Homo-oligomer: A and B are copies of this chain.
Amino acid sequence: MTGTATDELSLVFHALADPTRRAILSRLSSGEATAGELAEPFAMSRPAVSQHLRVLESAGLIDRNARAQWRTCTIRTEPLDDVSAWIDEHRALWTERFELLDERLRDLKQQKQDHQQDH
């Protein structure tokens, strides 16, 4: 990511561009957890986990709630909707292009058949 890429969608894609951060989100999909619980499955220091949580939080993908003395994390899926919308739009455009190409190929084939029948 370049230094200027701080738009929301870029932050979300950047946050998802790491297998540990995606694993953390997978864990949070099944319920809230503390930073300690999230660190457990990974062979990494607590500061390293905290850094990942900060990246996820700045992308709006998690909320960190101070509840009693425990600070729990929950997933937020709204940014995933934006990602999904972007992806779907580009797949749709591309599929549309393929359909146009298909149509053109069918036309060419038909023209060739017509041409052969003329001879």
Closest to A18 in B: B5
**A50 beta carbon closer than 8 Å to chain B:** no
Interface size on A, residues (CB 8 A): 35
B83 touches A26 (CB 8 A): no
In the complex, chain B residues whose CB is within 8 Å of the CB of A5: 17-20
Q: How far is the CA of A31 from the CA of B94 in the complex (A)?
A: 9
Scan A61-104; emit 1 where CB is below 8 A from any B CB, else 0. 00000000000000101001101101110110111010000000
Instruction: Using CB atoms and an 8 Å cutoff, list the residues of chain A in contact with chain B.
Output: 1-2, 5, 7, 9-11, 13-14, 16-20, 22, 25-26, 29-31, 75, 77, 80-81, 83-84, 86-88, 90-91, 93-95, 97
